[in-house]
Amino acid sequence: MNKLTKLLGSELMATDTFVRAITHRSADGKHNERMEFLGDSVLGLIITTELYKRIPRASEGYLSRLRASLVNENALAGIAANLAIGDFLRLGPGELKSGGFRRKSILADALEALIGCIYLEQGLEAAKAFVLAVYGELLESLPSEDDLKDPKSRLQEFLQSRGHDLPEYNLMDVQGEAHRQTFTAECVVPRLGIRTQGTASSRRKAEQVAAKLAFEQVSP
CA-to-CA separations, 79 to 41, 96, 200, in angstroms, rounded: 17, 21, 26
State whether 10 and 70 are in the same domain.
Answer: yes
Whether the full predicted model's pTM is greater than 0.85, yes or no, is no
C-alpha to C-alpha distance for 74 and 107, rounded to whole angstroms: 10
Could you confirm whether 11 is annotated as catalytic?
no
CA 200 to chain centroid, in Å, comes to 18
Please give the Cα distance from 186 to 209 (Å, whole number). 9
Domain that holds residue 175: 151-218
- Same domain? 129 vs 48: yes
Distance CA 155, CA 164 (A): 11
Tell me how many domains the chain contains: 2
- Residue where a domain terminates, one of 142, 170, 187: 142
CATH code (residue 192)? 3.30.160.20
109 carries a ligand binding annotation = yes
pLDDT in tens, the chain (220 residues): 588 999 999 999 999 999 999 999 999 889 999 999 999 999 999 999 999 999 999 999 899 989 999 999 999 999 999 999 999 999 999 888 888 888 999 999 999 999 999 999 999 999 999 999 999 999 999 988 878 888 998 899 899 999 999 999 999 999 998 888 999 999 999 989 999 999 999 999 999 999 999 999 987 6
112 counts as catalytic: yes
Considering 40, 95, 186, 207, which one is annotated as catalytic?
40
SS3 142: coil
